[in-house]
Chain A
Amino acid sequence: DAGITQSPRYKITETGRQVTLMCHQTWSHSYMFWYRQDLGHGLRLIYYSAAADITDKGEVPDGYVVSRSKTENFPLTLESATRSQTSVYFCASKPGGPISGNTIYFGEGSWLTVV
């Protein structure tokens, strides 16, 4: 079924470990995004990518690394996980061009707990 697939859906890790959250989309959308959602803050943009090999920081990029070697994949890596990175992470995508006239579609989320 077409759409956005995130994995793992649930992950518990220890402080200091490296964690990678995977995101795969089947729409061939140009843009892909990573948001985190926390109580009291809502959805905040971590990183986004306009195309393969083009990435840019969002509102809260510190502690995260992204890459995009293929259009359909956009992994998010926490290089050394901290408890403050316990959150729900959403991958999203949209077609190319400005947001006006398009919309962003979200995956089901990855629940990450750092202990």
Chain B
Amino acid sequence: EDQVTQSPEALRLQEGESSSLNCSYTVSGLRGLFWYRQDPGKGPEFLFTLYSAGEEKEKERLKATLTKKESFLHITAPKPEDSATYLCAAPGAGSYQLTFGKGTKLSVIP
């Protein structure tokens, strides 16, 4: 069964304190690893897609990386506005939809 597991469930950082979120997956024949950001009371917002081991993508203070078994979302010098739940996902059965992890809730304290 395809699975996507995220850790930690929650993370509190001081403003400027860099860290990483983890997403491990057991999906045969990975066809993309997706990262989303979700603010309270909102729908998930697309951030990145990674397709092959070694690939990296960046957006402002966020950098996503991919290995054969996991992906990391690195947050460099975070600001309070980076506080959100970060979701990762991989294509599910049939390759036409996504299976999501349970998310990491990030809180950045001023």
A residues contacting B by CB (< 8 A) are 4, 31, 33, 35, 40-45, 48, 50, 58, 90, 92, 98-101, 103-109
Q: Does B101 contact A (CB under 8 A)?
A: yes
Q: Which of A42, A45, A48, A109 contacts B102 (CB 8 A)?
A: A42
Q: Which residues of B contact A (CB under 8 A)?
A: 31-32, 34, 36, 41-46, 49, 51, 87, 89, 91-92, 95-103
Residues of A within 8 A of B97 (CB): 31, 33, 45, 48, 58, 99, 104
Q: Report how far A26 CA is from B30 CA in the complex, Å.
A: 30
Instruction: Report how many A-B pairs have Cβ atoms within 8 Å.
Output: 63
* Separation of A31 and B96 alpha carbons in the complex (Å): 8
Docked Cα-Cα span, A107 to B38, in Å, equals 11
Q: A42-B87, A90-B44, A108-B43 are known contacts. Are A100 and B32 too (CB-CB below 8 A)?
A: yes
A43-B44, A98-B95 are contacts. A103–B100 as well, Cβ < 8 Å?
Answer: no
**Nearest-Cβ distance from residue B89 to partner chain A, whole angstroms:** 8
Listed from nearest, the 3 A-B pairs whose CB atoms lie closest are: A106-B43, A42-B102, A43-B100
Question: Which of A40, A101, A103, A107 meets B43, CB within 8 Å?
Answer: A107
Measured CA separation A114–B95 after assembly (Å): 33
Additional pairs, 12, CB under 8 Å, beyond known A90-B43, A99-B97: A31-B97, A42-B100, A43-B44, A99-B95, A99-B96, A99-B98, A100-B91, A100-B95, A104-B98, A106-B36, A108-B42, A108-B43
Chain A hits for B44, CB < 8 A: 43, 90, 106
Nearest A residue (CB) for B103: A42
Q: Which residue of B lies closest to A109 (CB)?
A: B43
Task: Determine the chain B residues whose CB is within 8 A of the CB of A41 once the complex forms.
Answer: 102
Contacts of A50 in B (CB 8 A): 96
Instruction: Tell me the minimal C-beta distance from A99 to chain B in angstroms.
Output: 4
> A4 to chain B: which residues have CB within 8 Å?
43
Contacts of A42 in B (CB 8 A): 87, 100-103
In the complex, chain B residues whose CB is within 8 Å of the CB of A108: 42-43
